[in-house]
Amino acid sequence: MTEGRVALVTGAGRGIGRAIAHRLSREGLRVALVARGDKELAETAEGCVGPALTVTADVTDQEQIEAAYALVERTWGPVEVLVAGAGAGHSARLDRTTDEDWQRMLDLNLTAPFRCIRRCVPAMRAAGWGRVVVVASTAARVGEPYIAAYTASKHGVLGLVRSAAAELATIGVTVNAVCPGYVDTPMTDLTVDTIAATTGRSPADARRLLERKQPIGRLIRPEEVADAVWFCVSSDAVTGQAINVDGGAVQ
């Protein structure tokens, strides 16, 4: 049912997005890889086993999103599977979170997925089939100190997913969120560096602190998040869900 379909993955240059792109490629999809870095996109494409199209774009720029979709459509046709994986974090005390910090989190983690979903829905509606998966976070489910802007953006994107799922369920389009905990990615490396810099802990101790936040006692592997994404893509009946991939941290 999914083999040969056209997928677009944002944030595909590294980490979770790269793992998702590779998984979709192994499952027989044609995968358009979207990210800002040419070199990282090329590395992701090398790991795909089937057709891969690299598209350099900043998803916070609406014109670049439109150009990315247009390129995919000219090359392969409409996007049938969207995985909105681009995202970033920010950590600061609430009173030290600037308007610029706040807006940056909303632009990347909430507005960009909204625009990507909005752009692909007409073709999915016309076809009577589509899959949308947003990579959210356990921060979409609970609040933690020092990540107010990030948490607000992720709570918002989960609301977007649920509303879109309710609207599109009758026409064969599913919309879900995957909510990872701390994953072994460059983004977590930055979190480790921030903890070490602000607390005086060693990087190794800071990493262990994050590992202990998850009952399984380790960081999640990107491939484990990709497995959850594939579950959403391959199911006809699962929609409007937020699937935690966090080693049991949020129950």
- Catalytic residue ranges: 150
Distance CA 145, CA 133 (A): 27
Distance CA 236, CA 130 (A): 10
Neighbours of 46 (CB within 10 A): 8
Distance CA 244, CA 177 (A): 9
| 246, 219 Cβ separation under 8 angstroms | no
Tokens of 23: 């998984």
| 142, 232 Cβ separation under 8 angstroms | no
**What are the backbone dihedrals phi and psi of residue 188, each rounded to the nearest 5 degrees, phi first?**
-70, -35
